[in-house]
């Protein structure tokens, strides 16, 4: 029997201001990607706090080699689908490649996503035009999640999917960029594939929560791609930070619960799933 999202839980729905409260209170945030209503509903039931309609769908759902071909239409469609499964988790949507090339383009895309059910738009990087886009969006009532470290939309410039911030100069730049996106108005920051010590330093310096993916155990929360947390083979190399929670969880919803519990008790990620 189908249970509507409203019937699935009596937890209080997440809002953007609650993210700052979670950081202040030391409550670790569990985040996963989703692309449809069914998995989103299972995540809601399992107590996942944040759900991201990521441009990762290009690689895990569309079978592409990178996130670059994903369109605004793709994200808008999957946002609308995922939103139908949620009643408590906060829904975020990725601005795909070049959708934030100008502040106006970013606003047009983000408006579509919020109208489809998202509560926040996520964008990668801290170049000048990215900071302009963050300011432009937040001044127009669009909450923003920033994304630093390994930014998949920069894969061509970076020369592949590589850990970022390992030398002193790169680490200092990442710390500066983190402060810059916060000052521009971002309410949340994803740190991807950066050394644990660097992620810990950035997390301690910022007022806004950090969400790690391959960034060690000291971030304010963690995120994994849906297919990775379920141990599904998407045809791409599995990164070091990925863990299959389905084996221990026993079911899809059980895997999500196991993941959320491990994030909150600090057992995931451990050293084996982090970079030094």
Could you list the active site residues? 192
The dihedrals phi and psi of 252, each to the nearest 5 degrees, come to -60, -50
Categorise residue 214: left if φ over 0, alpha if ψ from -120 to 50, beta otherwise.
Answer: left
Q: What are phi and psi of 265, to 5 degrees?
A: -90, 0
Q: Is 69 exposed, middle or buried (0-12, 13-18, 19+ CB in 10 A)?
A: middle
Query: What does the alpha-carbon distance between residue 90 and residue 31 come to, in Å, rounded to a whole number?
Result: 9
Cα–Cα distance measured from residue 85 to residue 45, given in angstroms and rounded to the nearest whole number: 10
8 A C-beta contact, residue 166 and residue 150: no
Do residues 165 and 174 lie in contact, with contact meaning Cβ atoms separated by under 8 Å?
A: yes
Q: What's the rounded Cα separation, in Å, for the pair 160 and 101?
A: 21
Q: In whole angstroms, what is the distance from residue 252 CA to residue 241 CA?
A: 20
Task: Report d(CA 152, CA 145) in Å as an integer.
Answer: 15
Tokens 């959320």 -> residue: 260
Cβ-contact 263, 255 below 8 angstroms = no
**Taken in order 147, 150, 153, 158, is the CA torsion positive or negative?**
positive
């Amino acid at each position: 029997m189908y249970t509507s999202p409203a019937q699935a839980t009596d937890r209080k729905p997440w809002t953007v201001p609650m993210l700052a409260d979670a950081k202040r209170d030391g409550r670790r945030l569990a985040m996963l990607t989703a692309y449809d209503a069914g998995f989103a509903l299972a995540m809601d039931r399992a107590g996942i706090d944040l759900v991201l309609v990521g441009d990762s769908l290009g690689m895990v759902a569309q079978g592409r080699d990178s996130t670059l071909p994903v369109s605004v239409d793709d994200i808008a469609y999957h946002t609308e689908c995922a939103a139908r499964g949620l009643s408590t988790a906060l829904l975020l949507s990725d601005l795909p490649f070049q959708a934030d090339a100008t502040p106006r383009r970013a606003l047009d895309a983000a408006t579509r996503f919020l109208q489809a059910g998202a509560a926040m738009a996520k964008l990668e990087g801290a170049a000048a035009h990215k900071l302009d886009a963050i300011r432009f969006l937040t001044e127009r009532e669009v909450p923003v999640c920033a994304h630093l470290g390994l930014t998949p939309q920069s894969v061509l410039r970076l020369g592949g999917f590589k850990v970022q911030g390992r030398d002193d100069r790169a680490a200092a730049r990442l710390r500066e960029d983190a402060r810059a996106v916060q000052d521009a108005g971002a309410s949340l920051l994803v740190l991807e594939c950066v050394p644990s010590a660097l992620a810990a330093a950035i997390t301690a310096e910022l007022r806004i929560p950090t969400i790690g993916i391959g960034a060690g155990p000291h971030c304010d929360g963690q995120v994994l791609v849906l297919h990775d947390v379920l141990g599904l083979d998407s045809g791409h190399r599995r990164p070091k930070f990925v863990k299959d929670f389905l084996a221990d969880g026993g079911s899809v919803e059980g895997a999500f619960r196991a993941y959320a519990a491990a994030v909150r008790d600090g057992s995931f990620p451990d050293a084996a799933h982090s970079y030094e």
